[in-house]
Chains A and B, each alone.
Chain A
Amino acid sequence: MTTRLFGERVPRVEDPRLVTGNGRFLDDLGHDALEAAFVRSPHAHARIVDIDVSEALDVEGLVAIYTYDDLDGRTGEALPLLIPHPTLTHGRTPHALARDEVNHVGEAVVMVVATSRYVAEDAAERVRVEYDFLPAVVGIEAARAAEELVHDDVPGNLAARMVQQTGDADAAVDAAPNLLELDLEIERSASMPLEGKGVLARWDPDDESLLVHTSTQTSTSVRQALAAKLGLPVDRVEVVTPDVGGGFGVKIVHPWPEEILVPWAAIRLGRPVKWTEDRREHFVSSAHERGQLHHVRVGYDDEGVLAGLSVRFWHDNGAYVPYGLIVPIITSTQLLGPYKPGVYRVEFDSLYTNTVLVTPYRGAGRPQGCYVMERVMDAIAAERGIDRTVVRERNFIRPEEMPYDHGLIFQDGRPLLYDSGDYPATLAKLKKLVGWDGFEAYREQARAEGRRVGIGLACYVEGTGVGPYEGGHIRVETDGTVVVSTGLTTQGQGHRTMLAQIVADELGVPFDRVRVTTGDTRRFKYAVGTFASRTAVMSGSAVALTARSVRDKALTIAAEALEVDVEDLEVVDGHVRVKGSPSSSIDLGAVAVLSNPLRYAFDEAAARATQFAAPADPEKPPVGPGEQPGLEGSDYYSPPRSTFANGMHAVVVETDPDTAEIRVLRYCVVHDCGTLVNPMLVEGQIHGGVAQGVGGALYERMEYAPDGQLLNASFMDFLMPYASEVPEVEIDHLVTPSPLNPLGVKGAGEAGVIPGAAAIASAIEDAEGLTITRMPISPSELFALRAAHRKETP
C-alpha cells in the first residue's frame, strides 16, 4: 500500500520557494507597469468643495489624474453591498472615489497614475482638495448618542438593529435566584497582513481581455465584480492571486475601490497599471474589526447554572458596511460557545462612525463573543465561590446532546446546530495540560518569591466551513503528473500541501506527483473564497470527491485495457494493478493516454499505452455517449450547514507588583477540529492565531483621536507582538470527527485567536484580584486599575 498521508506531518511544499526568496508577491510583478497613488482624505468627515489638480500637472512622469467625475458607467456607482440582510435597513457603501463627501480619514478622493510610485506620490501631494468640515462621529458612545450623523440619511447612525431570542430571556433572568449585570468593552484591532493589498491590471487590446493580479482572498468573486463594474463580458476577464502575504479577513472584502480603479485605468490608458498599498494606506483605508460594547444580564442558580442570558451590544461598523452584518451576527450567535444559556436573547445595533470600515478579521466577531461569555462565567464563579472550570463544566452542552440546536440562525442563514464535540473531554485535557489543580501550590510558591501569578481559561466553539460550496478539478497528465485546481485562494496557510495530501491518498499516487493551483480563475471559475476556516472542509472535501471520481474513471479504462473487472483493481503508487498480481499493472500516465482517442505518440507514456490499446469497435464512436476524453474530472462539495470546531485555552500570567508589566508565562491549547489532515499545519494555524490573540489582549488597539485621526497608523505605534512577546504554545488535540463531510474535518484557521483576550483577562484578574471589563489592557492601564481598586477597597 502507498503510505497514507492523511494525518501526517508532511513538510510544506510551499516553503522552499518562499524561504529562498523566490515567492512572487503582487509587488514583485509588473515592473513594466505604470503605478498609481491616491490622494486620501485627511479629514474624518467633510464635504468636498473643490479639487484643483493644476499644480500636479507639471510633475514630470505624470500620466493621468482621475476624480469621481471621471468615473463612467457603473464604475461611478456605489460599491456593492455584498451581503444584504433584512435587518440591514440602512446599508451604505463607498464609491470607488469619494463623491461629494468623505466619511473617514483615508477615503480615496483622487487617483494619480504615473511612471513610478515616487512620481505618483509627488503629483498626489500637489493636488489641492478643498473641504467643508463636518463634525466627526468617533467611538461607539458618540455613534449611539447620535448628536451628529455620519450619513445624513441614516437616523441614529443605525445601520441595523437585530434581535434573536429563544424565549423571554429577561423574565428568565429576573426569575433566577441570582442575577449579574456586566458592562464589557473590547477595542479595535485589524487583520494587518504583512503584505497589504495590491492590484496589477493588464488590458490586451488584441484579445480584448483583461488579466488582473490582485492580493485577494477571493479571485473568482473579484472577476465577477470587475466584469460587472467595467461592463466587460465575464469571459474576457481573468483574475489571478499571486503569492499572498497574509489576509486574515481583510482581503475577503471585494471589490476594494482600487480593484476597480486600477483595471479601469489600465483599459483607458492601454497600458499595465499597478498599485501596491503601503502601510499607512492599509491602516486608514483597508478595514479594522473588534470594537464592541456589551451590556449583559445573566440569571443563574446557586450551582452557577444559567437560567437566562440577555445580551445587548453595540457594534462599531465604521463608515460603510460593504460586508453587511457578518461580524455582529457571528458575535451574537457564537457568544454562546460550548454552553447552554437557558433562555437567550441578543440584540445588537450596528452603528456608523467616521472611521475605517469594519469587516471580518480572523475570528470575525467570535473573540468579542467569547470574551463576553467567558467574563460572565468568571463573574459567576467569583460570585458563587465556585472553581471557574466547574462553573463552565456545569453549563456545557453534553456530548450525548449532540447534534445540538441552539434555536438561532447562524451567519450562513442556517440553524445554529452544533454537529459534534465533547466539551467535558476537551476541558479535562486542558486542565491536565496546564496543571489546573496544582496551580494553587505554584501560586503560593511564587508568592513566597515576591511574584504575582494568575491562571485563566476560556472556551469557544467556532462555526467553520461555511458554504455554499467549493469545487475541485483534477487532471492526470500523460506523464503521470496530477494537476489539481481549486478556486479558492491561499495566503500562506499551506493549502498546496494539505490538498496534495488528500489527493495523493484518494487517487493512490505519490505525493510529489501532485501539483495544486489555487486562486487562478483561468484554471477554475467557480469558488467562494478563503475565509471562515473553510478550506480544509470545503476544498478538501471537494478535491477528495473529485479524486474519487477520477480514480473511478482510471479504473474503468484500466479494467478494459487489462481485461479484468474493476473490482479486481487497485491504485498503488501511481499504478493501477490487479489485486494480488502486482506485475499486471498500468501506470496512470498510460491510462491518461488511453483516455484520449487521439494519441500521437509524443512521449513515452503514449508508447507504453499502445500495448494496451484495444482494437477499436468500428460500430462505436471513439468517445461514447456520456464519456469524455482525458483522465480528468471535477466535483463540488456543498454542506448542509457549518461544522463546529471547539477549543479551550489556559494561560498563566505574571504581573509585576511594581511596574504592572504583564508577562504570559504559559499558553496551553486544547483544540478539536475533527480529523487532522496535517497536524503540523493545524498547529501552525494555532500558533499564528495565538500570536494575534496575545496582540488583541495586550498590545493592539486603534487609537482614534476625537476628531477621527488615527494616531498610531504605523508599526512604530500600533503594537503587534514580536516573537519576544508571543509565548511558547503548548498544544494537545482532541478529535471528534464532523459527520457532515467525507473527511470528518472541521476548520482550524481562525481558532487560535478566538479566546486570547478572554483567557488573558481571566488570568490577569486571577493574579490581581480586581475586575477587568475592558480589553486590551496595557501596563499603564493595569496600574490605573490598581489605583482605582485601592480607592474602592481601602
Chain B
Amino acid sequence: MKPPAFAYHRPRSLADALDVLARLGAEAKVLAGGQSLVPLMSMRLAAPAALVDVNHVPGLDSVEVTADRVVVGALARHSRVEHDPEAYDAVPLLRRALLLVAHPTIRNRGTTVGSLVHGDPAAEMPAVLCLLDGFVTLRSASGSRDVPADAFFTGPMESDVRPGELAVSATFRRPPAGSRSSFLEVSRRHGDYAVCGVGAVVSDGTARVALIGVGAGPVLVPLDEPDDPDRVAAAVDAAIEPEDDIHATADYRRHLAQVLTRRALAEVS
C-alpha cells in the first residue's frame, strides 16, 4: 500500500496553481485535504502522474458569510466550517450535516470543497449543496465558471471538474428567514458513509429533501405537498434507485428513505 512515483508540485499562488494545472491537464490531481485521494493512491486505485498540492496557495481557506450566502474556500477544512459561528447562524444545516461527516480527525484535514469534488454518492455535503441551491466555482488559467449543484454531480465519484480546473469555492445559499432544516442518516458506525441519509429544508411553505446512498449522487426531491404523507412517499420512492451492497440491501435502503424522510420532515414542520 505505497503509491507509485508521482511528480509533486507546490504552487505558492493561485495563478501558479492554475498555470501548472493547465500545463499538466488530465495528468494532475489536486491535493487539498487528501483524505480520499491519498488512500486511493496508496492502494494504487488512483495513480496520477502529478499532484498539485494547493495547501500553500494563499486566500483559499476562507469561510465568507454574506447576507444571502456562505462561500467556502477550497482549503477550508470541514472543522473550520463546522465551528464557524457566522456560518452556523446563516445556514445551520452546514454544521448539522458536517457532524455526520467522518470523525473530527478527518474533518480537521478534509475539506468541504474536496468532498464535493470527490462526489461520493453517500456523502453528506453534496446533498447539502443541492438542498441550498448551491454552486461550485471552478477556475482555470483561461477563466472561471460556476456550476450549479444539480449539474455538478455527474455520477458516482464523478463531478464536473475538467482537466486544468481548480474548484476554488463552494457557495451555499442562505435559506429565507424562518426556514428550518434537518439532516438524518443511518450509518453502520458513527461517522461512516451513510447507508441512507436525508436532508430536508422547509421554507415559505415549500419543502425539499435530498437523499444520499440511494442513487448515483445526491437525489433532490422537491415536495409540492409536504403535508401529504402519501404524496411524499410516492415522490421519494420514484426518485431513488438504491442498490444492494455488502452493508445493506436495496429494499432496506428504500425503506430507510421513507422512514428518514418522514422523520426529517416531522422535525422541520
Task: Spell out A's residues near B (CB within 8 Å).
Answer: 117-118, 121-122, 125, 278-280, 658-661, 699, 703, 711-712, 714, 716-717, 719, 721-722, 724-725, 778-780, 783-784, 787
A660, A703, A725, A779: most-surrounded residue (chain B CB, <10 A) = A779
14 of the cross-chain contacts (CB-CB < 8 Å) are A121-B4, A125-B4, A278-B1, A659-B260, A722-B191, A724-B191, A725-B189, A725-B190, A778-B188, A779-B252, A783-B249, A783-B251, A783-B252, A787-B251
In the assembled complex, the Cα of A779 lies from the Cα of B192 at a distance in Å of 14
The answer to whether A717 touches B246, judged by C-beta atoms less than 8 angstroms apart, is yes
**Least distance between A575 CB and chain B CB atoms (Å):** 51
**Least distance between B91 CB and chain A CB atoms (Å):** 26
The answer to whether A724 touches B190, judged by C-beta atoms less than 8 angstroms apart, is yes
Which residues of B have CB within 8 Å of A660?
Answer: 252
The answer to whether B251 touches A784, judged by C-beta atoms less than 8 angstroms apart, is yes
- C-beta contact mask, B184-207 vs A, less than 8 Å → 1, else 0? 001011111001000000000000
The answer to whether A661 touches B1, judged by C-beta atoms less than 8 angstroms apart, is no
B39, B188, B249, B251: most-surrounded residue (chain A CB, <10 A) = B188
The size of the chain B interface, using a CB distance under 8 A, is 26
The answer to whether B249 touches A658, judged by C-beta atoms less than 8 angstroms apart, is no
CB contacts under 8 Å to A, within B222-242, are none
**Least distance between B240 CB and chain A CB atoms (Å):** 16
The answer to whether A779 touches B4, judged by C-beta atoms less than 8 angstroms apart, is no
Contacts A659-B256, A725-B190 given: A279-B1 contact, CB under 8 Å?
Answer: yes
In the assembled complex, the Cα of A121 lies from the Cα of B44 at a distance in Å of 10
Which residues of A have CB within 8 Å of B3?
Answer: 118
Is B248's CB within 8 Å of the partner chain A? yes
The answer to whether B186 touches A122, judged by C-beta atoms less than 8 angstroms apart, is no
Which residues of B have CB within 8 Å of A278?
Answer: 1
Which residues of B have CB within 8 Å of A125?
Answer: 4, 44
In the assembled complex, the Cα of A716 lies from the Cα of B39 at a distance in Å of 10
CB contacts under 8 Å to A, within B245-262, are 246-249, 251-252, 255-256, 259-260
Contacts A122-B5, A125-B44 given: A724-B195 contact, CB under 8 Å?
Answer: no
Is B43's CB within 8 Å of the partner chain A? yes
Main secondary structure of the interface of B (DSSP, over half): loop
Which residues of A have CB within 8 Å of B2?
Answer: 117-118, 121
Which residues of A have CB within 8 Å of B191?
Answer: 722, 724
Which residues of A have CB within 8 Å of B190?
Answer: 722, 724-725
In the assembled complex, the Cα of A5 lies from the Cα of B255 at a distance in Å of 57
Which residues of A have CB within 8 Å of B188?
Answer: 699, 719, 778-779
In the assembled complex, the Cα of A584 lies from the Cα of B61 at a distance in Å of 74
B246, B248, B259: most-surrounded residue (chain A CB, <10 A) = B246
Which residues of B have CB within 8 Å of A121?
Answer: 2, 4, 44
The answer to whether B247 touches A778, judged by C-beta atoms less than 8 angstroms apart, is yes
B39, B189, B259: most-surrounded residue (chain A CB, <10 A) = B189
The answer to whether B5 touches A780, judged by C-beta atoms less than 8 angstroms apart, is no
Q: Given contact pairs A779-B186, A783-B251, enumerate 5 new A-B contacts (beta carbons under 8 Å).
A: A280-B1, A722-B189, A778-B188, A778-B247, A787-B251
Can you list the 6 inter-chain pairs with the closest CB atoms, starting with the nearest? A724-B190, A780-B248, A278-B1, A780-B252, A118-B2, A658-B259
Contacts A719-B189, A725-B189, A725-B190 given: A780-B4 contact, CB under 8 Å?
Answer: no
Which residues of A have CB within 8 Å of B195?
Answer: 779-780
The answer to whether A661 touches B189, judged by C-beta atoms less than 8 angstroms apart, is no
The answer to whether B248 touches A122, judged by C-beta atoms less than 8 angstroms apart, is no
Q: Which of B39, B246, B259 contacts A711 (CB 8 A)?
A: B246
Which residues of A have CB within 8 Å of B192?
Answer: 719
**Least distance between B113 CB and chain A CB atoms (Å):** 22
Which residues of B have CB within 8 Å of A658?
Answer: 259
In the assembled complex, the Cα of A699 lies from the Cα of B188 at a distance in Å of 8
**Least distance between B265 CB and chain A CB atoms (Å):** 14
Which residues of A have CB within 8 Å of B259?
Answer: 658-659
In the assembled complex, the Cα of A711 lies from the Cα of B190 at a distance in Å of 21
In the assembled complex, the Cα of A368 lies from the Cα of B61 at a distance in Å of 52
The answer to whether A721 touches B248, judged by C-beta atoms less than 8 angstroms apart, is no
**Least distance between B8 CB and chain A CB atoms (Å):** 14
- C-beta contact mask, B1-44 vs A, less than 8 Å → 1, else 0? 11111000000000000000000000000000000000100011
- C-beta contact mask, B98-127 vs A, less than 8 Å → 1, else 0? 000001000000000000000000000000
The answer to whether B189 touches A784, judged by C-beta atoms less than 8 angstroms apart, is no
The answer to whether A661 touches B5, judged by C-beta atoms less than 8 angstroms apart, is no
Q: Which of A661, A719, A722, A784 contacts B186 (CB 8 A)?
A: A661
The answer to whether B255 touches A783, judged by C-beta atoms less than 8 angstroms apart, is yes
Which residues of A have CB within 8 Å of B1?
Answer: 278-280
In the assembled complex, the Cα of A345 lies from the Cα of B135 at a distance in Å of 68
The answer to whether A721 touches B44, judged by C-beta atoms less than 8 angstroms apart, is no
In the assembled complex, the Cα of A724 lies from the Cα of B191 at a distance in Å of 9
**Least distance between A195 CB and chain B CB atoms (Å):** 14
In the assembled complex, the Cα of A220 lies from the Cα of B36 at a distance in Å of 42
Chain B residue with minimal CB distance to A701?
Answer: B246
In the assembled complex, the Cα of A711 lies from the Cα of B245 at a distance in Å of 10
Contacts A659-B186, A719-B188 given: A779-B248 contact, CB under 8 Å?
Answer: yes
In the assembled complex, the Cα of A41 lies from the Cα of B99 at a distance in Å of 40
In the assembled complex, the Cα of A787 lies from the Cα of B255 at a distance in Å of 11
**Least distance between B104 CB and chain A CB atoms (Å):** 12
Contacts A121-B2, A280-B1, A658-B259 given: A778-B186 contact, CB under 8 Å?
Answer: no
Chain B residue with minimal CB distance to A280?
Answer: B1
Contacts A122-B4, A125-B4 given: A780-B247 contact, CB under 8 Å?
Answer: yes
Which residues of B have CB within 8 Å of A724?
Answer: 189-191
A121, A659, A716, A725: most-surrounded residue (chain B CB, <10 A) = A659
In the assembled complex, the Cα of A491 lies from the Cα of B22 at a distance in Å of 51
In the assembled complex, the Cα of A659 lies from the Cα of B264 at a distance in Å of 13
- C-beta contact mask, B132-147 vs A, less than 8 Å → 1, else 0? 0000000000000000
Which residues of A have CB within 8 Å of B247?
Answer: 717, 719, 778, 780
In the assembled complex, the Cα of A36 lies from the Cα of B43 at a distance in Å of 17
In the assembled complex, the Cα of A703 lies from the Cα of B248 at a distance in Å of 12
Q: Which of B103, B189, B246 contacts A721 (CB 8 A)?
A: B189
Which residues of B have CB within 8 Å of A717?
Answer: 246-247
In the assembled complex, the Cα of A121 lies from the Cα of B47 at a distance in Å of 13
